[in-house]
């Protein structure tokens, strides 16, 4: 029988740990961590993510600030706001929710963030530090994935790990973390130009699916006993939910789960771990002041 990796439960435990640290900071008369989030436009998924991030801050006792801009905001205005947040001593860390409208360069925006305030761990300085194993801010989703694997004591050393997807925010960085000393996995990254994806994935002891394509990972692709981590969060219309939408992962859960040793659900798997990683990065930033 497969085991569910309960990201929601682990994230809630970590939130309690963070809340306890915040309470200690308060008692010691220290500054309360403050996370700011920039949201551009009204993309439904981004709205939900940012609302949840603000809620998380409240739950652990952080201060949070949400800064909203219209879809037509210029790159220059956004870069000015980032410069302002970089210089605002009350803000410990901030994020710019992605994706941004097409007329704004995401790379320029990310590079404008002070690496010391980069709670998402997207700045090239933090990604470079991660590459060579120096302390810095790890990208939130890969950080969450690794933490979940560690807390479930899933063996990674010498295991064949296949990462599906090569995005800058998930696939590529998680492939680096899993191959590092301490994790010691043998990592293969497959992507849209890979030949024989099915053959490669079927050799995996650990599958990390991060391509944003519902039910991409089917039962035929999964070795018996594999660990399956589903990072997909595609929002589809659903008459069953109050909001009219539901989140679906990259894995055909119903058919894949019976072949697995461990599997993450969507929702309630990696999503809550990403959010909690953002809080951890912000706490680290606040304690550095």
Of 106 and 184, the one with the shorter C-beta distance to ligand GUN is 106
CB closest to ligand GUN, residue no:
98
3-state secondary structure of 15: helix
CB atoms within 10 A of CB 26: 12
Residues in the chain: 289
Q: Retrieve residue 228's tokens.
A: 């399956």
Placement of tokens 């300085």 in the chain: 125
Residue 156: CB minimum distance to ligand GUN, A: 22
Radius of gyration of the chain (CA): 19
64 binding ligand GUN? (CB under 6 A): no
67 near ligand GUN, judged by CB under 6 A = no
- Tell me the closest approach of the beta carbon of residue 106 to ligand GUN, in angstroms: 9
Q: Which of the residues 161 through 190 are near ligand GUN (CB under 6 A)?
A: 169
Question: Within 6-45, which residues bind ligand GUN (CB under 6 A)?
Answer: none
Catalytic residue among 15, 53, 117, 159: 53
Q: Which of 289, 288, 285, 286 is closest to 138 using CA atoms?
A: 285
Among 73, 95, 190, 257, contact with ligand GUN (rule: CB under 6 A): 95
Q: In what order do the strands lie in the sheet with 93-96?
A: 63-69, 34-40, 93-96
Q: Is 98 in the site for ligand GUN (CB under 6 A)?
A: yes
Which residue, 87, 86, 91, is CA-closest to 57? 91
Helix, strand, coil in percent for the chain, rounding step 5: 45, 20, 40
225: CB partners within 8 A, 6+ apart: 205, 259, 260, 261
140 binds ligand GUN (CB under 6 A): yes
- Concerning whether 16 is annotated as a catalytic residue, the answer is no
CB of 9 to ligand GUN, least distance (A): 21
Among 274, 279, 281, 282, binds ligand GUN (CB under 6 A): 274
Nearest distance in Å: CB 23, ligand GUN: 26
Q: Judged by CB under 6 A, does residue 118 bind ligand GUN? A: no
Measured from the CB atom, the residue of 5 and 169 that comes closer to ligand GUN is: 169
Q: Does residue 198 have an active-site annotation?
A: no
Question: Could you count the other beta carbons within 10 Å of the beta carbon of residue 198?
Answer: 11
Which residues are at the interface with ligand GUN (CB under 6 A)? Answer: 95-98, 120, 140-141, 169, 274
Residues marked as catalytic:
53, 97, 120
């Amino acid at each position: 029988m497969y085991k569910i990796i309960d990201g929601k439960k682990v994230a809630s435990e970590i939130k309690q740990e963070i809340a306890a640290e915040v309470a200690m900071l308060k008692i010691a008369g220290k500054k309360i961590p403050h996370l700011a989030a920039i949201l551009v436009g009204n993309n439904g998924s981004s709205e939900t993510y940012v609302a949840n991030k603000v809620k998380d801050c409240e739950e652990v006792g952080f201060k949070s600030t949400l800064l909203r801009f219209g879809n037509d905001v210029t790159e220059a205005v956004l870069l000015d706001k980032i410069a302002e947040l970089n210089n605002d001593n009350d803000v410990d860390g901030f994020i710019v929710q992605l994706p941004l409208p097409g007329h704004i360069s995401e790379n320029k925006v990310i590079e404008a963030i002070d690496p010391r305030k980069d709670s998402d761990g997207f700045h090239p300085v933090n990604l470079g530090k991660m590459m060579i194993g120096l302390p810095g801010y790890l990208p939130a989703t890969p950080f969450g994935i690794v933490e979940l694997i560690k807390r479930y004591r899933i063996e990674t050393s010498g295991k064949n790990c296949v990462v599906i997807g090569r995005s800058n925010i998930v696939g590529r960085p998680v492939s680096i973390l899993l191959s590092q000393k301490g994790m010691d996995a043998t990592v293969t990254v497959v992507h849209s130009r890979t030949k024989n994806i099915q053959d490669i994935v079927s050799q995996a002891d650990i599958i990390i699916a991060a391509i944003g394509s519902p039910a991409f990972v089917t039962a035929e692709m999964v070795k018996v006993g594999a660990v399956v981590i589903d990072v997909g969060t595609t929002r589809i219309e659903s008459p069953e939910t109050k909001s009219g939408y539901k989140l679906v992962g990259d894995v055909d859960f119903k058919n894949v789960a019976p072949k697995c040793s461990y599997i993450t659900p969507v929702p309630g798997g990696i999503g809550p771990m990403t959010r909690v990683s953002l809080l951890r990065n912000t706490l680290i930033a606040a304690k550095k002041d």
